[in-house]
Amino acid sequence: MAERYELRFSGAGGQGLITAGIILAEAASIIEGKSAVQSQSYGPEARGGASKSEVIISDAPIDYPKATIVDACLAMTQEAADKYANGIKEGGILLLDADFVQRAPEGNFTVYRLPITRMAKEDIGREIVANVVALGAVIGLTGVVSKDAGEEAVLRKVPEAFKDLNKKAYNLGYTKGKELAS
């Protein structure tokens, strides 16, 4: 991993992407002992409007907490892709929800597509865990934290009754992300 790795999760308010960013930052900092910061932004409508969560992970102290040259970006909606899939570095990664983002922004980065929301709904049985599927896919695709650190961070955040569901969602996303990366 580079000394500083910048990620952006974007989608509609209410999709849980801010939570996904928080979980990733905790996986990096609390579990793996790296430096990490997480920031978030969402429109005044909160639920339904475009929102983003940025995570910066580094082996050294982080001097500026905002993403400037994004290594990897996730966009779950077309509005989020249009608004937030910018600043991706040359050779970076853009992961799109294949069912909700038809037009990918242009740039010198690699675009990957996964039907993230549909996978959560059809393979896991609950659309509400799409954010955890997406988090797993991002970790599988980038390797920014270990599979185990990501899973542990997810399981620390969810109530006991939902641990198995979220573990299954995370592992599905991780597996699909690894497949995309190979």
As a whole number, mean pLDDT of residues 15-36 equals 95
| 4-181: CATH class | alpha beta
pLDDT in tens, 29-80: 999 999 999 998 866 555 667 889 999 999 999 988 888 899 999 999 999 9
Whole-prediction pTM value? Answer: 0.93
Beta bridge partners of 6: 56
Sequence ranges of the domains in the chain:
4-181
Mean pLDDT of the chain: 93
What residues contact residue 153 under an 8 Å CB cut-off, 6+ apart? 23, 24, 26, 27, 30, 31, 145
Could you tell me which of 39, 43, 56 has the C-alpha nearest to residue 11?
Answer: 43
